[in-house]
Structure 1
């Protein structure tokens, strides 16, 4: 078990920043679609969620900026994916805590 003296304030601040970025219903939905190593474009994500492409790009930018997502450009497309697959477990944990 991790002891308090082992906590690194910089790592805690990074984790808090990532969690804040994830704490939005649309961003959680995006993360759900990227589970399992999936790589999707902005167009694919906006079509899956039924929201505007500009809104999708905004949410993806926040998640990428806070270290939750990575992107890779391939030709005309930019693919987004989870930086750490373990992040999907956080989403699953929150989901299981909100179900009765």
Structure 2
């Protein structure tokens, strides 16, 4: 195997289980509202559900459903404090992925 082929295998996903896991996670992140939530959380250590609701501008029940999907996929972590729930991105690599998406797809960055 050539050195170039070895480098490609180091970067790409080759295991079927990993491909399915990555696909499910990307699908969860691909919804515009969920991506917006991730971008809000990316700029902070933690954000309360109420603060997310205020920044996104939709109902708390709608936000809670989307947060639940992201949490169930392991993309977000939650912490409860009294009657408030705070969310954060579970892994800094998720922020790197969002940054890569921005570089690849956002026209203002590519100019």
Task: Report the TM-score range of the alignment, normalised by the length of the smaller protein.
Answer: 0.7 to 0.9
Which secondary structure state, in structure 2, belongs to the residue aligned with residue 34 of structure 1? helix
Deviation (angstroms), 1:7: 2.8
Deviation (angstroms), 1:81: 0.8
The whole-number CA distance in structure 2 between the counterparts of 1:12 and 1:41 is 32
| Map of 1:66 onto structure 2 | 73
Structure 1 or 2: more helix by fraction: 2
- Residue 45 of structure 2, aligned match among 38, 43, 50: 38
Give 1 or 2 for the bigger CA radius of gyration. 2
More contact order relative to length (CA 8 Å, sep ≥ 6) = 1
4+ residue runs of structure 1 moved beyond 4 angstroms?
none
Deviation (angstroms), 1:99: 2.7
The gaps in structure 1 that reach 5 residues or longer are none
Deviation (angstroms), 1:13: 1.5
| Map of 1:17 onto structure 2 | 24
The whole-number CA distance in structure 2 between the counterparts of 1:17 and 1:31 is 16
User: Quick check: 1:80 aligned with 2:56?
Assistant: no
The whole-number CA distance in structure 2 between the counterparts of 1:97 and 1:2 is 19
Q: Give the length in aligned residue pairs.
A: 99
Deviation (angstroms), 1:86: 1.3
Contact 1:37–1:85 (8 Å) recurs in 2: no
Contact 1:68–1:82 (8 Å) recurs in 2: yes
